[in-house]
Amino acid sequence: MIPILDSKRQYQQIANELEPAVLEVMRSGSYIMGKNCHALEEELAKYIGTNYAVVLNSGTDALHLALRALDIGADDEVISTAFTFVATSESIGIVGAKPVFVDINPDTFNIDASKIEAAITPKTKAIIPVHLYGQPCDMDVIMEIAKKHNLYVIEDCCQAIGAEYKGKKVGTFGDVGCYSFYPTKNLGTMGDGGACVLNNEKLKDRIIALRNHGGAVRYHHDEIGVNSRLDEIQAAILRVKLPYVDEWNKQRRAHAQKYNELFASNADIETPKELNNTYCVYHQYTVKVPNRDAVHKLLQENGIGAMIYYPIPLHLQKVHEKYNFKEGMLPNTEKDTKLVLSLPMFAEITEEEQETVAKTLIECVEKAKDCVCA
């Protein structure tokens, strides 16, 4: 069995650093928003290249508190993509705003920047580009549109820590960059975690207040906030791991290159493309294949842990039923939803495992051609 991700291998590599760090927190008696959280905020801001980082409980909170801090709410519209994890549009819903979905560019799976302007209305307040699978969005075009129409930009970087667009890290282009440290992400902790990164001091203070019951001063509450504090154990784990992220991303890129070579002579398997001037960090390595559901089933039967991210585009999810979004509205999104397949991808995967994955996939694509199994 080759899993899509094997978190234990990473743990075994750095257990000798992780275990004392966690033990130290347990012995310290300081468990929430202590010295590790504050140090992590500085280290993260420095790594990304922003003035500030605010650590939070999750990537979902990073998105929704960024929207809250920018005063986006009822009657506002936020432009984003339907080809993403539900948390992106959920965060728009949490603040009471309406998600407006723009189709994807099928080469990158990211929002098609050339289609954004047509979706802007007088109610539009912000754009949330999602750097899906670790591939940066076309930020020059998006920032130009945002400037022209006076819109905020909140980058969903949950799958893209370390990714770069024209030599600058994602999360540094818009008003706020949002990160998740969910265990499966490129920088994952051993529980939940997230962060906002940003340059604006006032906005930073607002997010800090919102994460702790809407007050900057203890027991003084200015607005309805949430409890989205990070705990010291997660922060200590993230501080051990952060210095390794660049190396792990480099390994992911080498594995992507290896897969590309293994599939190069196969006409049925479409390998992922990269935009010029980007540094993709391959949170997922996602191919497009014909008869995808049959191929997926055959792969699973053959011990390959491939996954479909994501099987239902967000505009067709029940949660957005009230907006009456129709099938056919986002043709590229809907088409690719039926073709994508993410293959095993993690820094520690071996060349031999990759070869097995590739060989098995090629066989399964062939087999699925004359099978009526899905």
- Least Å from the CB of residue 217 to ligand PLP: 28
Contact flag: residue 280 with ligand PLP (CB under 6 A): no
Among the listed ranges 144-152, 154-162, 272-280, 323-331, the one in contact with ligand PLP (CB under 6 A) is: 154-162
Alpha carbon distance 86, 99 (integer Å): 11
Q: Hey, which residues between 220 and 279 contact ligand PLP (CB under 6 A)? A: none
Give the residue among 8, 6, 39 at the shortest CA–CA distance from 240: 39
Tell me which residue has its CB nearest to ligand PLP. 59
- Least Å from the CB of residue 67 to ligand PLP: 13
At which residue do the structure tokens 């275990």 appear?
Answer: 19
3-state helix, strand, coil in the chain (%, to 5): 45, 15, 40
Q: What 3-state class would DSSP assign to 80?
A: strand
At which residue do the structure tokens 């130009």 appear?
Answer: 144
Q: What 3-state class would DSSP assign to 341?
A: strand
Which DSSP helix (H) or strand (E) runs through 99? strand 98-102
Q: Hey, which residues between 169 and 198 contact ligand PLP (CB under 6 A)? A: 180, 182, 192, 194
| DSSP classification of residue 76 | -
Q: 165 vs 263, which CB is nearer to ligand PLP?
A: 165
Is residue 110 a contact partner of residue 137, using CB atoms and an 8 Å limit? yes
Contact flag: residue 87 with ligand PLP (CB under 6 A): yes
At which residue do the structure tokens 């980082």 appear?
Answer: 53
Q: Which of 10, 81, 84, 337 binds ligand PLP (CB under 6 A)?
A: 84
Is residue 224 a contact partner of residue 27, using CB atoms and an 8 Å limit? no
Contact flag: residue 136 with ligand PLP (CB under 6 A): no
Partners of 231 in the β-ladder? 32
Q: 94 vs 306, which CB is nearer to ligand PLP?
A: 94
Q: 263 vs 309, which CB is nearer to ligand PLP?
A: 309
Q: Which of 36, 60, 124, 186 binds ligand PLP (CB under 6 A)?
A: 60
Q: Which of 110, 159, 278, 360 binds ligand PLP (CB under 6 A)?
A: 159
Among the listed ranges 29-37, 54-62, 94-102, 112-120, the one in contact with ligand PLP (CB under 6 A) is: 54-62
Q: 138 vs 192, which CB is nearer to ligand PLP?
A: 192
- Least Å from the CB of residue 49 to ligand PLP: 21
Q: Which of 10, 36, 50, 58 binds ligand PLP (CB under 6 A)?
A: 58
Give the residue among 147, 89, 90, 94 at the shortest CA–CA distance from 117: 147
Cα dihedral: 94, 96, 102, 105 (round 10):
-20
Tell me, letter by letter, the H, E, C secondary structure of 180-246.
ECCCCCCCCCCCCCEEEEECCHHHHHHHHHHHECCCCCCCCCCCCCCECCCEHHHHHHHHHHHHHHH
Is residue 113 a contact partner of residue 145, using CB atoms and an 8 Å limit? yes
Contact flag: residue 89 with ligand PLP (CB under 6 A): no
Q: 103 vs 156, which CB is nearer to ligand PLP?
A: 156
Contact flag: residue 110 with ligand PLP (CB under 6 A): no
Among the listed ranges 22-30, 155-163, 327-335, 362-370, the one in contact with ligand PLP (CB under 6 A) is: 155-163
Binding residues for ligand PLP, per CB under 6 A? 58-60, 84-85, 87-88, 130, 156, 158-159, 180, 182, 192, 194
